[in-house]
Structure 1
Amino acid sequence: MPSRQDIVTFHDPPAPPGESPWVDGAGPEVGVDLADPHPAWPDAFAEIAARIRDALGWRAISIEHVGSTSVPGLVAKPIIDVDLVVADPTDEAAYLPALEAAGFVLRVREPWWFEHRALRLPQPRCNLHVFGPDSPEPVKHRIFRDWLRGNADERARYAAAKRSAAAAANAQGEHTMQYNARKEQAVREIYDRAFRAAGLVTD
């Protein structure tokens, strides 16, 4: 299990020299298309989760709907973000072929960031993030999701930051990682309030 300190710390290690997280020429998409909240997003997650469970069985320790599509009433890119926890992300033979047979495509491999792997599913559109049990990232994502679900003012604040970042990124022809950077300050401020409400940060 991740430590309390790891949960409240933002880990952003750069790729080692000569390394790229992108697999086989993949890269971030240009342009940010925000959509109004859609009632079909939970059903899309349920379909994706069932596909993962069918592929992996009990090797899928947890499957969580995270990101903006998991928060009712929040604008989002119409792509379902899913966190998958497996016993050992480095043991790709234990899960990757089964996921690929189910239609997922590996796009990112980041050994330097909690052994993160990311896969894309074309339909329903999904970003699948694979972590191990010791990674703090799935815990962070659940805290953020639940805090936004329970606080309308925070949802409104985050929606405004997303719209502003998307408008600026699109005006400059930027890709999604640059869009994420534009809203990072707002994200971290929301996290800080969520962490304090949970008692994870007390100073």
Structure 2
Amino acid sequence: MATLDDDDIAAATVGDLRPYAAGVVLEEYNPAWPDWYAEEEAAIRAALGDVALRIEHTGSTSVPGLAAKAVIDILLLVPDAAAEVAYLSALEAAGYELRIRQPDWYQHRCFVRRVDSGARWNVNLHVLSPESGGPEIERILAFRDWLRTHEDDRAYYERTKRELTQREWKFVQHYANAKSGVVEEILGRALFG
């Protein structure tokens, strides 16, 4: 959950950096989202086999009852995220495009599949490894699990997101950055009680 400025965004982007051409749109929770995730998980497992150490549905679409952008966020753990040769071509063959490479932030990689490129739904596939990404993995899963079981914070987070959708964003990362204070506040409760 890194906060990035425009230079960071440009440096981490693989391929052309494209401004976010539309406002952020939240949809009411869709009970089909877990099924969409399950199809993606099966495709990732088929593509990677044992290289996929763990796959988790994360982000707002993984929290029942939470409004979200209709993008399935997935956390994929591989033995070494920096060793792209072990997974890059297999994920590309499965239809994922590498868009973000952040070697200075837990060796994070992000692949996407987009409806405008022929996918059935939008996907962000975040790749980390247990050794280099351990702290961030714990934070991602703690945030998801807390929101699943704490209605008050789920509502607070949704209100924040709805307020932020009223603004225009040059890059979707700016929207994510704007949520970071609330995310950190909720994470504080999730991790430290």
- TM-score w.r.t. the length of structure 1 is 0.84
Structure with greater helix percent: 2
Work out the CA distance in 1 between the residues paired with 2:126 and 2:19.
15
How far 1:27 sits from its partner (Å)? 3.9
Work out the CA distance in 2 between the residues paired with 1:102 and 1:113.
25
5+ unaligned residues in a row in structure 2: which ranges? none
- Change in Cα spacing, 1:57 to 1:45, as seen in structure 2 (3 Å) is same
- Change in Cα spacing, 1:90 to 1:28, as seen in structure 2 (3 Å) is farther
- Change in Cα spacing, 1:85 to 1:27, as seen in structure 2 (3 Å) is farther
Q: Which residue of 2 aligns with 1:137?
A: 136
Aligned residues: 184
5+ unaligned residues in a row in structure 1: which ranges? 1-9, 198-203
Q: Is the 8 A contact 2:13 2:101 kept in 1?
A: yes
- Change in Cα spacing, 1:28 to 1:128, as seen in structure 2 (3 Å) is farther
Work out the CA distance in 1 between the residues paired with 2:136 and 2:29.
24
- TM-score w.r.t. the length of structure 2 is 0.89
How far 1:11 sits from its partner (Å)? 6.0
The runs of at least 4 aligned residues of structure 1 exceeding 3 Å deviation read 10-17
Residue 85 (structure 1) aligned with residue 77 (structure 2) = yes
Work out the CA distance in 1 between the residues paired with 2:4 and 2:178.
18
Specify the code of the residue in structure 2 equivalent to 1:157.
Answer: Y
CA offsets 1:36-93 (integer angstroms, 9 cap, x no match): 1001000000000000000000110000000000000001000000000100111111
Percent identity for Structure 1 against Structure 2: 43
**Structure 2 matches for 1:1-203, cutoff 5 A?**
20-27=11-18, 29-30=20-21, 31-122=23-114, 123=119, 124-134=121-131, 135=133, 136-168=135-167, 170=168, 173-197=169-193
